Chain A
Amino acid sequence: MAEEETTPESTGPAGPAKPIRTRGLSMVYRTDILKRKRKALDGLDLEIEPGEIFGYLGANGAGKTTTLKLLVGLLRPTAGEAWILGRSTGEVASRRPVGFLPENPFFYEYLSAREAVDFYASLSGMGRADRARRTAEVLELVGLGGAEEGRIGSFSKGMRQRLGLAQALVHEPQVLILDEPMSGLDPIGRRDVREIILAQRDLGRTVFFSSHILADVEAICDRVGILAQGRLAETGPLENILTREITSIDVAVEGASVEAVPEDLAADTTMRVIETENGFEITVADYETAYRVMDAAEAAGAKLRALTPRGESLEQYFMRTQAGGRAGEGAAGAAEPGAPPEGGSPG
């Protein structure tokens, strides 16, 4: 697995504080009293830029939820440190500008949605007038406008997810840390959440979220970080990660028959060739081969209809990099909503 160079540590005083910064963050769980340890996170160095949407990916058990819990103070790191807007996560005040959504959230069953959001808002220090206004606003925003007085115990999973998002947003936080925000939602719901996240970025806020649903990540993230077995494997804008590896080029030719393909290529059974109505399409491995095909086609009097370089999809990238370390783990990037939660905390 290629080791990506991490962002250089800023040793001197940096500029305006980064929304999220970690250095050497590690977490070793004591799984039981007999001190069998499980290393969930190993030396994580991460820096999130202000105003960006960062997608945090990894297979089950890679350490995503652990990272999020460490950022929010639910866990104490065994090594390393993290800062939110310049404040160490060891301080309770560092959580003030943070809105957190846990995975598969549960709330107090006997409260109504409005009471719950109001409760959380007051814990974040909002005054009474603000609270009333924002509670109504945020419930409307997440689509629970009509269910304000409903008892949470009767909510469906999708409604709980929306409620979770509401409580994360009610105090207008600068930094949003979301664990699987799309889980439990139908495609329409997912779209709504995507739009909410995008709207937050428009307001200048930073969003750091983890997800299994690669399609959503691809759609909205500015940058992506990929976690494997507790270590950060890759990080950077999606294009950087993916286009580095161009796996194939589709050449679509019109006006020639398949026989125009050079013989050595035709004999290669790994090449995918499709005959179309008045031409053919061939998938080749690199540009060189593509040029050869084009030359051959031109020589046969055909026209080039399309030349499409295909980068690796995130899913393919995922499969490739994850499969090496965790054989038999199963589809790490299976894009189903409600994928089994990552084993972040031990039993």
Chain B
Amino acid sequence: MAPSAGLARRAFAAEAKIGALVIGLVAVSMLLQLRIDQERGARVLPMFVHHNPGGAEAELIKHQNFSLYLPKAQALRYASLGHRNIVADMVWLKAAHYASKQFAGGGRLDWLSKMYNVTVDLDPNWENAYWMGAMILASVARKPKDAELLLVKGMSRIPHSYKLPYEAGVTLLFQRGKEKDAAKYFRRAALHPECPRIVLDIIPRLLSEGGSLEAAIMAAESRLNSMPRNSVQYKATARDLMEFRSRLLVKRWQEIVEAFRRQVGRSPAALAEVRSPLPRKDSYGRDLLYDPASAKVDSEGLRLVRLNEQIAVMNAALGDVKHRLGRKPNGPREFLDEIRKIYKPRAHTDERGNEQLERVMGRWPFRFPAHPFGDHGERFRYSREKAEFLLRPDRRLGALYPEELR
């Protein structure tokens, strides 16, 4: 029997009405969504509007190479299902952990920059992430270029900040020859109504000193105030401060030696011959060194710092070789061959390290260049068990720094 017309027809009419309403509402929500997307500044229907992420942001995006262990910021952004800030906090924590672990082991912090970039991509309004991140990149990881890029990113997203341009200026001063750019950022920071007086006071002094050691010392001292005492960044900055002071001391002594030469007509035979109120030990408590033949002044502490840096660079390169070979290299010669194959200068590795590696790797047998203050170059050895290059124990960092800075 055919279905009763009345019941079925009535039911169908009701359903049709509901269906029409649904379609209408979906259309309305489409229109609303269009408006909302514009208000959010998100990309709108590409057919109607063409959006090109060009300019500075594209530059920044190009510079971000992501490692295997950290997913792209985009993927994390969507995987967090809206809770982006929490994920940003977690990445920040991971970065802090990584920084302190690597620092204690004397390693290079290659992934730190990526971690900070992911953090700020997930939470773009987190001013302190840019600020502290850049500070740590510059002082702990020795990557001022990465620090600057991070700060530039931050300044484009948080235009009303004074901290970020100030920090950018200070960071640029760590790189030689960038005084003009530093001045540009300092001006920007000074324009901000909330910039504190202390900062305003330091800026002109920093600018006037330019890329000098005095400026670097002032910047490092002012930075120390904003860091918690036992943190990694504090230790790194304090170590830098010791180095700068020593270098300044060496520089002053060099000037005195020059003055002596001009006055007396010859180089002094030893530093003891020169009279000066300047201290005769560097900030590490070690002696100053003087080579009468070249009339050059140096410091034992600085020399040890350089040695350790070179060893760190070589150990990092050793890591790359181990990864490539799948095992430890049999000896220094194999190491050298592999290094030549893989080690191309990379955009964001430590520039100073690159230079040192180039210098060392060119010569066999491995030896640091003979320093003018002794009769043989400093030796180091390759420990096959540990698969590491090692200095003599009394030459290592642990012997150099006081307890609280290790």
**Chain A residues in the interface with B (C-beta under 8 A):** 24, 26, 43, 76-81, 88, 90
B11:A79 contact, CB within 8 angstroms? no
| Distance from A143 Cβ to chain B, minimum over Cβ atoms (Å) | 39
Chain B window 1-25, contacts with chain A (Cβ cutoff 8 Å), 1 for yes, 0 for no: 1111011001100000000000000
Q: Bound complex: CA of A94 vs CA of B1, how far in Å?
A: 24
Known: A76-B11, A90-B10, A90-B11. A43 touches B1 (CB 8 A): yes
Q: How large is the interface on B (under 10, 10 to 19, 20 to 34, 35 or more residues)?
A: under 10
Q: Bound complex: CA of A88 vs CA of B10, how far in Å?
A: 12
B7's nearest neighbour on chain A, judged by CB, is A90
Q: Which residues of A sit under 8 angstroms from B11, Cβ to Cβ?
A: 76, 90
B2's nearest neighbour on chain A, judged by CB, is A79
Q: Which residues of A sit under 8 angstroms from B4, Cβ to Cβ?
A: 24, 77, 79-81
Kindly list the 9 A-B residue pairs having the minimum CB-CB distance in the complex, ordered from nearest. A81-B4, A90-B7, A79-B1, A24-B1, A79-B3, A80-B4, A81-B7, A78-B3, A90-B10
> Chain A binding site: helix, strand, loop or mixed by DSSP?
strand
B1:A80 contact, CB within 8 angstroms? yes
Q: Which residues of A sit under 8 angstroms from B6, Cβ to Cβ?
A: 81, 88, 90
Q: Which residues of B sit under 8 angstroms from A78, Cβ to Cβ?
A: 3
Q: Bound complex: CA of A79 vs CA of B1, how far in Å?
A: 6
Highest count of chain A CB atoms <10 Å: which of B1, B2, B10, B11? B1
Q: Which residues of B sit under 8 angstroms from A76, Cβ to Cβ?
A: 7, 11
Q: Bound complex: CA of A90 vs CA of B3, how far in Å?
A: 13
Q: Bound complex: CA of A198 vs CA of B368, how far in Å?
A: 113
**Chain B residues in the interface with A (C-beta under 8 A):** 1-4, 6-7, 10-11
| Distance from A9 Cβ to chain B, minimum over Cβ atoms (Å) | 13
Between A and B, 8 residue pairs with Cβ closer than 8 Å are: A24-B1, A43-B1, A78-B3, A79-B2, A79-B4, A88-B6, A90-B6, A90-B10
Q: Bound complex: CA of A209 vs CA of B316, how far in Å?
A: 88
Q: Bound complex: CA of A68 vs CA of B6, how far in Å?
A: 21
Q: Bound complex: CA of A90 vs CA of B1, how far in Å?
A: 18
Contacts A76-B11, A78-B3, A79-B2 supplied; 4 other A-B pairs, CB < 8 Å = A80-B1, A80-B3, A81-B4, A90-B11
Q: Bound complex: CA of A329 vs CA of B10, how far in Å?
A: 40
Q: Bound complex: CA of A43 vs CA of B1, how far in Å?
A: 8
Q: Bound complex: CA of A88 vs CA of B5, how far in Å?
A: 12
| Distance from A112 Cβ to chain B, minimum over Cβ atoms (Å) | 37
| Distance from A267 Cβ to chain B, minimum over Cβ atoms (Å) | 55
| Distance from B320 Cβ to chain A, minimum over Cβ atoms (Å) | 59
Q: Which residues of A sit under 8 angstroms from B7, Cβ to Cβ?
A: 76-77, 81, 88, 90
Q: Bound complex: CA of A307 vs CA of B51, how far in Å?
A: 104
Q: Bound complex: CA of A80 vs CA of B8, how far in Å?
A: 10
Q: Which residues of A sit under 8 angstroms from B2, Cβ to Cβ?
A: 79
Q: Bound complex: CA of A218 vs CA of B6, how far in Å?
A: 38
| Distance from A344 Cβ to chain B, minimum over Cβ atoms (Å) | 20
Q: Which residues of B sit under 8 angstroms from A80, Cβ to Cβ?
A: 1, 3-4
Q: Bound complex: CA of A81 vs CA of B8, how far in Å?
A: 10
Q: Bound complex: CA of A272 vs CA of B3, how far in Å?
A: 54
| Distance from B3 Cβ to chain A, minimum over Cβ atoms (Å) | 5
Q: Bound complex: CA of A90 vs CA of B4, how far in Å?
A: 11
Q: Bound complex: CA of A90 vs CA of B8, how far in Å?
A: 9
| Distance from B377 Cβ to chain A, minimum over Cβ atoms (Å) | 84
A81's nearest neighbour on chain B, judged by CB, is B4
Q: Which residues of A sit under 8 angstroms from B3, Cβ to Cβ?
A: 77-80
Q: Which residues of B sit under 8 angstroms from A79, Cβ to Cβ?
A: 1-4
| Distance from A21 Cβ to chain B, minimum over Cβ atoms (Å) | 13
Q: Which residues of B sit under 8 angstroms from A88, Cβ to Cβ?
A: 6-7
| Distance from A57 Cβ to chain B, minimum over Cβ atoms (Å) | 24
Q: Bound complex: CA of A78 vs CA of B10, how far in Å?
A: 14
Q: Bound complex: CA of A77 vs CA of B10, how far in Å?
A: 13
B4's nearest neighbour on chain A, judged by CB, is A81
Q: Bound complex: CA of A81 vs CA of B11, how far in Å?
A: 13
Q: Bound complex: CA of A77 vs CA of B7, how far in Å?
A: 9
| Distance from A95 Cβ to chain B, minimum over Cβ atoms (Å) | 15
Q: Which residues of B sit under 8 angstroms from A77, Cβ to Cβ?
A: 3-4, 7
A26's nearest neighbour on chain B, judged by CB, is B1
Q: Bound complex: CA of A167 vs CA of B4, how far in Å?
A: 32
Q: Bound complex: CA of A260 vs CA of B277, how far in Å?
A: 157
Q: Bound complex: CA of A337 vs CA of B10, how far in Å?
A: 41
Q: Which residues of B sit under 8 angstroms from A24, Cβ to Cβ?
A: 1, 4
Q: Bound complex: CA of A26 vs CA of B3, how far in Å?
A: 9
A78's nearest neighbour on chain B, judged by CB, is B3
Q: Which residues of A sit under 8 angstroms from B10, Cβ to Cβ?
A: 90
Q: Bound complex: CA of A14 vs CA of B10, how far in Å?
A: 24
A42's nearest neighbour on chain B, judged by CB, is B1
Q: Bound complex: CA of A90 vs CA of B10, how far in Å?
A: 9
